[in-house]
């Protein structure tokens, strides 16, 4: 099976499990060595059908561009593939059960892409990969797992809320070049 076929198969299984949900799967290139994993789509992503296209996505793109990358240099996905919404229709953080339900599909997606480096954005994506501990304990470290390197950094939405964390976010993403 080609990478595209494997991804189609995984997406087909997710669709079967969530037939009534609007799903957002991936963006970028499956052939690139770096996989970026976020939390879950928000409203903008649900509308456009692509991960990280809203305010957080724009911040991610501009930070990557400052470092000399373009979005298409990466494969981009989320742990949860539908938009978790609250009773008022707003975005909410995925529950531990939702994260757990997507865990196997995410593992298969990682196997299909076979990236050299995984960049984890935020705590939900950390949980999606079973990485324990706080953001503070993990960010800035290079984690080795199944022959792949993993780095953890803040979620772009956290940077929008706390702009004073932006230098660390930039510093973490700058490591991509050294690690591939």
Answer yes or no whether residue 118 interacts with ligand URA by CB under 6 A: no
Q: Extract the tokens encoding 10.
A: 């995984």
Answer yes or no whether residue 109 interacts with ligand URA by CB under 6 A: no
- Contact pick of 32, 35, 36, 42 for ligand URA (by CB under 6 A): 42
Q: Which residue has the tokens 């991960």?
A: 51
CA distance 11 to 168: 34
Residues 137-176 that bind ligand URA (CB under 6 A): none
- Contact pick of 14, 32, 35, 40 for ligand URA (by CB under 6 A): 40
Residue 147: count of CB within 10 angstroms of its CB: 7
CA distance 133 to 22: 32
User: Helices 3-17 and 103-113 meet at what angle, rounded to 10?
Assistant: 170
Of 56 and 115, nearer to ligand URA (C-beta) is 56
Of 63 and 78, nearer to ligand URA (C-beta) is 78
| Closest distance of CB 116 from ligand URA, Å | 22
Contact between 34 and 76 (Cβ < 8 Å):
no
Residues 88-107 that bind ligand URA (CB under 6 A): none
Residue ranges binding ligand URA (CB under 6 A): 38-42, 45, 51-52, 54, 56-57, 78
């Amino acid at each position: 099976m080609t990478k595209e076929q494997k991804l189609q198969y995984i997406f087909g299984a997710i669709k079967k499990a969530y037939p009534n949900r609007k799903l957002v799967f991936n963006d970028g290139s499956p052939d690139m060595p770096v996989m970026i994993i976020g939390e879950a789509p928000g409203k903008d992503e649900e509308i456009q059908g692509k991960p990280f296209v809203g305010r957080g996505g724009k911040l991610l793109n501009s930070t990557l561009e400052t470092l000399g990358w373009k979005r298409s240099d990466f494969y981009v996905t989320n742990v949860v593939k539908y938009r978790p919404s609250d009773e008022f229709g707003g975005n909410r953080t995925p529950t531990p059960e939702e994260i757990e339900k997507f865990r196997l599909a995410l593992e298969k997606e990682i196997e299909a892409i076979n990236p050299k480096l995984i960049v984890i954005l935020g705590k939900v994506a950390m949980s999606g990969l079973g990485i324990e501990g706080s953001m503070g304990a993990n960010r800035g470290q290079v984690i080795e797992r199944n022959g792949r390197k993993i780095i953890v950094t803040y979620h772009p939405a956290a940077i929008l809320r706390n702009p004073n964390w932006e230098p660390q976010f930039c510093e973490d993403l700058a490591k991509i070049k050294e690690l591939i």
